[in-house]
Amino acid sequence: MAKALNADYLEIYKDTESICTADPKLISTSKRLEQIGYNQMIDLAKTGSKVLALKSIQYAKNNDITIIVKSTNNPNIKTVISKKELKENIPFISCSIKKFSSRVDIISVIKNRNYAGKANIKNIMQEIVHNYKIYDYLWEVEGNRIGLFINNKNSKEIIKNIHDKLITL
């Protein structure tokens, strides 16, 4: 619609306070992002982030449409999605809790394309798996993301622990 109207930007209102380093509903310590690039947002969408649909971000990128994500609770809080990539030295964490026949949690860490982390993300995740004595898990490494599939009763705590360790690097 923004392209058809020749609009300067598209505003989208969400029930969360814009886009964060992780889902604020799962991780209260997630950091709000004021700016994020199309490619970074595409990485988040590919790993299960529900902020925006992958096709809508790709369309915006292909047509150079700036997206402004605002909070319905506080419209002064926003994240701008454009070709300007986030330069901060932080990884993005896309985490979701899926329920199948038993509880399975999926944690994906997207190494920000500009992220020059001080530690190996996989080592941090392995340390947490060891500390929580998780024996039933599966690694998925693809491009600039690392996924961890776990089945554990402490999953929300584990997700928060991974986020907090990575975000403070």
Q: Which residue type, as a one-letter code, is found at position 7?
A: A
Q: Are 42 and 59 in contact (CB under 8 A)?
A: no
Helical axes 121-131 vs 155-167, angle rounded to 10°: 140
In order of 22, 49, 75, the CA distances from 140 in angstroms are: 19, 17, 37
The pLDDT score that the predictor gives to residue 69 is 93
pLDDT tens figures, 117-162: 556 777 888 888 889 888 777 777 776 677 777 777 777 888 888 8
pLDDT tens figures, 20-62: 888 888 888 888 889 999 988 888 888 777 788 999 999 999 9
Question: Is residue 100 predicted with pLDDT exceeding 60?
Answer: no
Please report the domains of the chain, with CATH numbers, ordered by start residue.
9-82 (3.40.1160.10), 92-167 (3.30.70.260)
Residue the block writes with tokens 């020059």: 116
Q: What is the mean pLDDT of the chain?
A: 80
